[in-house]
């Protein structure tokens, strides 16, 4: 069973065109070529075309969870859609064994004018289940989704989080042999995401799972191997820790970051940080003190605090925006005290850094990367740490 190959991809390649008119023209040409049996055009790029996936080959066995990582536009979602049959490769082949459950885009597979309950029956029927089999599972699906009071409303009235709840519940409850998950799980709330990843751990025992995420802490927790894509090509395939370390190191290099980097941009002219201690127990909170000076008022600034582990992998991230906190900095001196936690992490060495972003949300005006080292001691508390919360915030 464990040696069963559930997903096999060989030389999978897909190209897209950046120009709409040319894309339509190429589509007509390709249909004509297919009708007369010409396929020499499939492995060549025409004007304004690019490879979204380029000669991608891999296998996923039953009992494995594979993470897809890479920058935006690397080809992760395109590859997942080809595996799910939503997009046909230009050349190469994909073989799947067994029933496929997928959550690739919000609302995908749902009829918006039908109710959640009706959509459950439709999805189950598409996967080959009988009405009796669906009826045996439907109460568990509704309970897991936690949207029972809305289940008989049209799906078009659901929030994005409710759609994710229903989509994940359906995809995982119908006993898939292959489970495909895109970044959409990031939309759900913290408690539901933790519940989802516990379910993924159970499903993985008898299925193959492919998981796309930019949250490398989650990839680290649930994936046995990773595929690192860059410009549609596989740059790395192998054990998770080594792949994430390579990905993080290259991301830091691209951002001109070294082991310790401190960058300041106008209007910030001072950004000094310190921690309350350098050693604390797993599960404790950590307090940071920030002394900064600005040349002008900065209303509604955005502060992030990031923790890296000893493999240089970012494993926790606190954000003032996610905490619905407005930080209005005044011209001159500003002092910030912020406590975050609990640090539900295994004992070991960690580094902490800070990013201050202006009110556009686009410009980093202060960046301290991996400056502060601290050690966690004690026992492993277990559980998934998706983000840690604010315990105290003071601005003077």
pLDDT digit string, tens, across residues 138-196 = 998 899 888 899 999 998 888 877 888 888 888 888 778 898 888 766 655 667 777 77
Q: Is 23 strand, coil or helix?
A: helix
Which secondary-structure segment (H or E) carries 11? strand 5-17
Q: How far apart are CA 151 and CA 90, in angstroms?
A: 40
- What mean pLDDT comes out for the span 309-318? 76
Whether the CA torsion 134, 137, 139, 145 is positive or negative: it is negative
DSSP 192-228: HHHHHHHHHHHHTTTSEEEEE-S-HHHHHHH-SEEEE
Quickly state the pLDDT bin for 236 (edges 50, 70, 90). Answer: very high
Domains and CATH numbers, the chain: 5-253 (3.40.50.300), 261-395 (2.70.50.60)
| Alpha carbon distance 101, 84 (integer Å) | 9
Mean pLDDT of 41-64: 89
Q: Which two tokens mark 287?
A: 């307090």
Q: Does 15 score more than 70 pLDDT? A: yes
Cα→Cα distances 216→126, 143, 332, Å? 33, 29, 37
Residue 189: partners with Cβ closer than 8 Å, 6 or more residues away: 161
∠ Cα 117 121 125 (to 5°):
165
The span from the CA of 216 to the CA of 86, in Å, is 26
Q: Is the peptide bond before 310 cis (omega within 30 degrees of 0)?
A: no
Average pLDDT over all residues of the chain = 83
Per mean pLDDT, which range of 142-156, 242-256, 360-374 is the poorest? 242-256
Model confidence over 78-133: pLDDT tens digits?
A: 999 999 888 889 889 999 988 887 777 666 678 889 999 998 888 888 777 788 88
pTM score, two decimals? 0.65
Is residue 99 within 8 A of residue 6, CB to CB? The reply is: no
CA distances (Å), 345 to each of 183, 316, 341, 377, 378, in order?
Answer: 23, 9, 10, 10, 10
Residue 256 has pLDDT above 70, yes or no: no
Q: Work out the average pLDDT over 317-337.
A: 86
- pLDDT higher than 70, residue 3: no
> CA–CA separation, 305 vs 355, rounded Å?
7
Burial class (CB in 10 A: 0-12, 13-18, 19+), 196: buried
Which pLDDT does position 254 carry in this prediction?
Answer: 60
Residue 384 pLDDT level (bands cut at 50, 70, 90):
very low
What is the structure's pLDDT at 187?
58
How far is 234 from 57, CA to CA, in rounded Å? Answer: 8
Sort strands 389-395 and 332-341 into parallel, antiparallel or unpaired.
antiparallel
Report the half-sphere exposure of 381 (CA within 13 A, side-chain side): 15
Residues 275-301, mean pLDDT to the nearest whole number? 88
Q: Is residue 278 scored above 50 in pLDDT?
A: yes
Long-range contacts of 145-150 (CB under 8 A, 24+ apart): 145/116, 145/169, 146/192, 147/116, 150/116
């Amino acid at each position: 069973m464990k040696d069963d190959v559930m997903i096999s991809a060989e030389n999978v390649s897909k190209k897209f065109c950046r120009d709409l008119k040319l894309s339509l023209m190429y589509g007509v040409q390709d249909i004509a070529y297919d009708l007369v049996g010409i396929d020499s055009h499939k492995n060549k790029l025409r004007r304004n075309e690019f490879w979204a996936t380029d000669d991608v080959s891999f296998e996923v066995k039953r009992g494995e969870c594979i993470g897809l990582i890479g920058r935006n536009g690397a080809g992760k979602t395109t590859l997942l859609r080809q595996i799910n049959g939503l997009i046909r490769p230009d050349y190469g082949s994909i073989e799947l064994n067994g029933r496929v459950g997928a959550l690739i885009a919000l609302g995908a597979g749902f009829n918006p004018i039908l109710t959640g309950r009706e959509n459950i029956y439709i999805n189950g029927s598409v996967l080959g289940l009988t009405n009796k089999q669906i009826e045996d599972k439907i109460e568990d699906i509704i309970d897991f989704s936690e949207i029972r009071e809305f289940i008989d409303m049209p799906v078009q009235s659901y929030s994005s989080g409710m759609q994710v709840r229903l989509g994940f519940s359906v995809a995982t409850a119908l006993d898939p042999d292959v489970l495909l998950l895109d970044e959409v799980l990031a939309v759900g709330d913290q408690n539901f995401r933790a519940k989802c990843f516990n379910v993924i751990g159970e499903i993985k025992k008898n299925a193959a799972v492919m998981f796309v995420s930019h949250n490398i802490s989650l990839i680290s927790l649930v994936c046995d191997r990773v595929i690192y894509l860059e410009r549609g090509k596989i740059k790395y395939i192998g054990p998770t820790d080594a792949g994430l370390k390579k990905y993080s190191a290259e991301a830091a290099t691209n951002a001109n970051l070294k082991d310790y980097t401190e960058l300041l941009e106008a209007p910030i002219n001072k950004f000094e940080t310190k921690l309350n201690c350098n050693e604390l127990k797993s599960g404790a909170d950590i307090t940071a003190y920030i002394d900064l000076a600005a040349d002008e008022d900065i209303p509604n600034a955005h502060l992030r605090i990031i923790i890296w582990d000893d493999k240089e992998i970012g494993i926790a991230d606190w954000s003032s925006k996610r905490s619905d906190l407005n930080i209005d900095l005044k011209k001159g001196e500003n002092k910030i005290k912020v406590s975050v936690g609990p640090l539900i992490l295994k004992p070991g060495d960690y580094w902490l850094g800070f990013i201050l972003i202006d009110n556009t949300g686009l410009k980093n005006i202060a960046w301290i990367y991996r400056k502060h080292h601290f050690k966690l001691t004690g026992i492993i508390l277990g559980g998934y740490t998706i983000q840690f919360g604010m315990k105290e915030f003071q601005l003077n």
